[in-house]
Chain A
């Protein structure tokens, strides 16, 4: 079963709460990591690593720099999701 947008969003909310202390309800698809959620590049690396553990999708640094919004990560994870 491929991961749904809702499943990825929920998982990301948990990850971002643990790493950056952001309320999961704040983590919505339209939010920008840097501008809206105040997450810096090092926290993005930690989020990418945690996302790999949770979703089984690797996000290398050169891909990570293009993922600006929560939606970008959801789309990326869905596009690489091997269970799809």
Chain B
């Protein structure tokens, strides 16, 4: 039997540009203290959040993804017609059908791309980024729009002070293209389905529930070895990292992983302070804002690690566009 023809992919993949979007409505800790029994000092000491953004009732996961995706596309210098694959990482859509990615593509003028959603919860963006890099290297796509967009606010019980203080809304996006050099490192990913009952939404009318202490223990013990392995597999020492962008789950988880990673020269993303935990959106949102502020130079290596419900996790080193 003769082998089928296969396309020739790019030798490597890189990120051309990022973009982000946050709803305009700012909700402070003092605002929350009016409706649930909590206070600013308690929230800041436990999760490190000062304020978060919450989408309006008419603002959807797709709306936010279109905003972030449009900015990433504009910054990349590519046209909508150059994009042939759109991947949206989300776990908080209003409904299961249709997917977000095809609608996002349509509204951005991207005609008939491959379009699928990824649900790996808060690890979703790193999964989607890895899939995008694989697609351009395999020749399945030339240019990919990768978006993380979440509206956690519509799945949170606003009378539950253990969750409503943490979760928020927003979107971040990246454009991935083929390149001669590998500027998106190999992914280290995995899951721990035996702990699936740690974070869940029971049914369609349910709210997001999480066992905070157990999740904290898992996140502060299981993930720094994954982060280190992602560095090793990319051939980058943790001390060479210019930035470390873990999922913005809780500032104390961020700090604990960073401390154990020993990336002493890296800026550690602390976007959660003003953005809250936006699940699959948190990494591209934090990194896009970091780049916008000029905190990290173009070409510098940055480590991403997403982790969340499932439990799922994924990490890779990327070069700052």
A contact set with B: CB distance below 8 Å: 40-42, 45-46, 48-49, 61
Contacts and interface: CB of A to CB of B under 8 A. Distances in A.
A49 B223 CA distance: 13
Contacts of B45: 40
B220 A45 contact: yes
B46 A49 contact: no
Contacts of B252: 42
Contacts of B216: 42, 45
A49 B214 contact: no
Contacts, number: 20
B217 A45 contact: yes
B24 interface: no
B195 interface: no
13 contacts: A40-B45, A40-B46, A41-B213, A42-B213, A42-B216, A42-B252, A45-B213, A45-B216, A45-B217, A46-B220, A49-B217, A49-B220, A49-B221
A48 to B, nearest CB: 8
Nearest to B221: A49
Contact of A61 (B46, B214, B221, B256): B214
Given A42-B46, A42-B252, A61 B220 contact: no
A41 to B, nearest CB: 6
Contacts of B46: 40, 42
Nearest to A41: B213
Interface in B183-236: 213-214, 216-217, 220-221
Interface string B41-63: 00001100000000000000000
A47 B307 CA distance: 22
Q: Which of B45, B217, B252, B256 has the most CB of A within 10 A?
A: B217
Contacts of B214: 61
Contacts of B217: 45, 48-49, 61
B180 to A, nearest CB: 43
A19 to B, nearest CB: 9
Nearest to B45: A40
